[in-house]
Amino acid sequence: MSTIGTTTIQTTAPNSLVMNPTSMLVEMKSFIPSSYTFETEIQKIKQELLTSNLDCSAKDETNEQYLYEMQDIIDHLPKLPEIQQQKLTIPEFDEIEVKPTDSVEIKKFIRKVNYEFLGFHCNHKVMDKDCDMVYKNISDIYKSEEFKTYDNFVSLVAECVWQIRDEDRRGKVWNKQIRPAMFEMKRAIDALVVLAGKVSEYNAKMNPQCSKCKAAIRKYNYSVKEIERMRNDYADLKKEAEKPAEDKMDMLTFLNKNYPTAEDFLLSDEMDKMHTFAHILTLFLTSIIQI
């Protein structure tokens, strides 16, 4: 956790940062001297309003309804997106082990993959520069006219809450002297829309994507899958080659499997036919010679 001015910033992971801009409205209370009791109370009320935890209990039913209305006004304001920063990290790839059972082709491919990815590097200087602007971006938002408009409106609602509670303690009904007007609420909403656009613009710059690194990760994952496939194929071929001779398919099995009609041609029948033809041919040739 780190603090910038009056704003608490949360680091959620290495090279990353997340901050809710609305928190800049309520962190001031820790810097206000204890003598300013009214300002301290206003800051506490603002925190209750922004977290939807306002205590709306009152002695008078009308005052209680007014308190609920104040909370409802804040709840209906557009929510600001979080300011997010995520610096790029260069991916580190694990070395793929060459196994003794790998074929020469597989070993060669693994060494090629390791050579390419173990020394992978990418230059992120330009993108890191945009990420390092996070504190300046937060400061620009805090100092903007739109943020002041938003802060003033929330402070106005908080003062109304303070007045309602003060009147209720004295047994009176709030007279609505400083109740927020519709144009003030519209102005606050317009300011929030502009602020949301600025935050989104900053986030786009502070959360870059590196196409080279993403492509390298995809290529490495594919290489790992391909090596696994090659190993499985090689293991199957090796297993088939190591089968005993009696387990291998003989010629008759091959013929029956691939040529189902082969069993219709019995070898003994063919041999008898050949003997008969040879006998007839011999008799014919003998008769010709005698003539």
- For the stretch 261-290, pLDDT in tens is 545 556 666 677 677 767 676 766 666 666
Residues facing residue 10 across a β-bridge: 18
The answer to whether the predicted template modeling score (pTM) of the entire model surpasses 0.85 is no
- At 127, the amino acid letter reads M
First to last CA, the chain: 123
Higher pLDDT, 41 or 253: 41
pLDDT tens digit sequence for 147-184: 999 999 999 999 999 999 999 999 999 988 788 889 99
Q: What's residue 5's pLDDT?
A: 35
Residue 63 CB burial class (10 angstroms; 0-12, 13-18, ≥19):
buried
CA-based nearest residue to 58, from 179, 168, 176: 168
Of the given ranges (57-66, 236-245, 253-262), which has the lowest mean pLDDT? 253-262
Q: What percent of the chain has pLDDT over 90?
A: 46
Give tens-digit pLDDT for 208-240: 888 999 999 999 999 999 999 999 998 888 887
